[in-house]
Amino acid sequence: MNDMKDVELNELDPEKQPMTGDGQAVGGEKNGSVKVKVPEEEVAFTGLSKEELMKVAGTPGWVRTRWVLLILFWLGWVGMLAGAIAIIVQAPRCKPIPEMNWWNEGPLYQIADVEAFADGLAGVEKKLDDINKLKVKGLVLGPFHTVQADQRSTLNLKEIDPTQGSEKDLLAVVDKAHKKGISVVLDLTPNYLGASPWFSTSDLSDVMDSVQDAAEHWFRLGVDGIKIADLPAAAKAVDLSQLMAAIQGNATEEETKKKMLMGVTEGVSAVELSQLLNTSSVSLVLSDLLSAKLGGAERIHALDTLHSQQRNVAWGLGAARREQLSKRAASRALIRLYQLLLFTMPGTPVFSYGDDIGLKMEGEKSPKMIWDLEKEAGAAVNETTEAEREEYVAVRKWFKSLSDLRGKERSLLHGDYYPLQSSASSLAFLRLWDQSERFVTAVNWGNASETLQLKMAPTEGVELPTSATVKLSTDPEMEPESTVDLVKIALGPGQGVLLQFPYKG
């Protein structure tokens, strides 16, 4: 009985349990706390079964929705197609690119005296990396075949003067040049050491046969073109179309690059040169018009006459006589000016070696080429020598900028030409192509400052804006990217500028 009473006393009625939270319940639980463990069950979403999907998809609401979405898709597609067609129809059509040959795509670099340039043909091969940096498209080498001055019997156009190199050296130059995308032209002017390039009139026909035979020989060995001097004399005495046919006949079926015949003229007017181009069928003619015609009006007339034949015209200043540009440019500023003019005129620019640094001629003798200009001079070098080195480097940088620009800009590469101004010592012209950037070249080679007033003849679809941006300039008063008034351009003595403005449809 006592045990039962103890149980009854210890089992307090829940209603009589204290309401405070201070006491600890049996089992370590606080009063009023109840722990309930609920088993965790993973609920996996299995989606609708195939039968359920098919049942839902067949309902009228989903059928209508699908039809609406399909119709919207096709309407959007047809709308985009119609918009694209409208844009194509309304957009101005691009002008077709004219047929371009490799000699139209960049400057030609002429090395008449390979010994003075780099100690012979073997040296030329070693310097091809430096030449390639100038972005030239062709090397014109020689003449260096064996012949004694005015001695027809000594002529051998297939044999190289051993003082200049060997056939093996030449072929090494051709092979390496081709790997760099540079073509090679051989100067085969027969009597290059004598009084007349062709010996005498009576010899001309026989000598031309020798030239044709030699050309075929060198073409078979990989040469890309030949050059001859005094083209008018040759054209009068022989049918040059036969020589051209022989040249083109040496191309294999695999070759897409044309072989080239380059002729040189001296003392020929622009009109006569134009007629010669129409009748001789030569690939490219290099004239001395810029050297002989020093006035702006005469030079602009030559451009006016020949610009439509630009893919067959080459321009040089001294190159026609295998001389450096510096012989006709009295100052470093004029060297830059004439480089600017040659690179932006309609036609192929031709430079003699050393023109890229403004190398000075030593009388009538070919100057020794200067290398390693990028190396900083030591402390022992005097200020004059160092200043000259820095000037060479600056001129080459200018040359590279122009060469790079001409290769990239269609307006300069093969664009149309429009004269804007000319005077006794200045000229300006516009180059443009279709929807590409337009360029204005303005140069003043005179000894005094000059203000060029640019005027353009009325031409359908072509007009000058009121201002343009300076692209390149020799004038310190015209900083690149600055804006210049196109109505009047003030140029200092011996200064030139290349201006740029966009196409506006």
CATH domain 104-408 topology: TIM Barrel (3.20.20)
User: Residue 2: pLDDT above 60?
Assistant: no
- The yes-or-no verdict on residue 17 having pLDDT over 90 is no
Q: Is 261 helix (H, G, I), strand (E, B) or coil?
A: strand
Tell me if domain 104-408 and domain 418-501 are identical in fold: no
Pairing of strands 138-141, 108-111: parallel
354 pLDDT tier (thresholds 50, 70, 90): very high
The pLDDT confidence band at residue 35, using thresholds 50, 70 and 90, is low
List helix spans (H) across 365-430. 383-408, 410-414
Closest by alpha carbon to 337, among 196, 497, 197?
Answer: 497
Q: What are phi and psi of 65, to 5 degrees?
A: -60, -45
Least confident of 155-159, 370-374, 487-491: 370-374
Residue 25 has pLDDT above 50, yes or no: no
pLDDT score of 43: 58
Task: Specify the amino acid at residue 376.
Answer: E
Tokens representing 387 are: 């200043």
Confidence of residue 29 (pLDDT cuts 50, 70, 90): very low
Cβ pair 344, 407 in contact under 8 A: no
Backbone angle region of 30, left / alpha / beta, with phi > 0 → left and psi within -120 to 50 → alpha: beta
The closest alpha carbon to 330, from 348, 317, 316, 315, belongs to: 317
**What average pLDDT does this structure show over 263-269?**
95
d(CA 66, CA 72): 10
pLDDT at residue 16 in the model: 47
Q: What band does 239 get if pLDDT is binned at 50, 70 and 90?
A: confident
Percent of the chain with pLDDT over 90: 66
CA R_g for the chain: 40
Q: Specify whether the CB–CB gap between 303 and 443 falls below 8 A.
A: no
Under 8 Å between Cβ of 160 and 146: yes
Mean pLDDT of the 96-111 span: 93
Say which residue the tokens 């999907």 belong to. 53
Q: Nearest 5°: phi and psi at 405?
A: -65, -40
State whether the Cα torsion 112-113-119-122 is positive or negative.
Answer: positive
- Out of 88-102, 144-158, 428-442, which region has the weakest mean confidence (pLDDT)? 88-102
The domain limits of the chain are 104-408, 418-501
> What type of residue is 425?
S
Query: What's residue 299's pLDDT?
Result: 94
**pLDDT at position 276:** 94
**pLDDT tens-digit map of 421-473:** 999 999 999 999 999 999 999 999 999 999 999 998 887 778 899 999 999 99
CA distance 338 to 333: 9
Mean pLDDT, the chain, as a whole number? 87
485: confidence class by pLDDT, cuts 50, 70, 90: very high
pLDDT at 66: 82
Judging by DSSP bridges, how do beta strands 450-453 and 438-444 pair with one another? unpaired
27 versus 46: which is more confidently predicted? 46
Q: Which two three-digit tokens encode residue 91?
A: 């957009």
The answer, yes or no, to whether residue 46 has pLDDT greater than 80, is: no
Q: For domain 418-501, which CATH number applies: 3.40.50.720, 3.60.15.10, 3.40.630.30, 2.60.40.1180?
A: 2.60.40.1180
pLDDT at 157: 97
Q: In this structure, what token pair is assigned to residue 62? A: 């989903």
Region of residue 434 (phi > 0: left; psi between -120 and 50: alpha; otherwise: beta): left
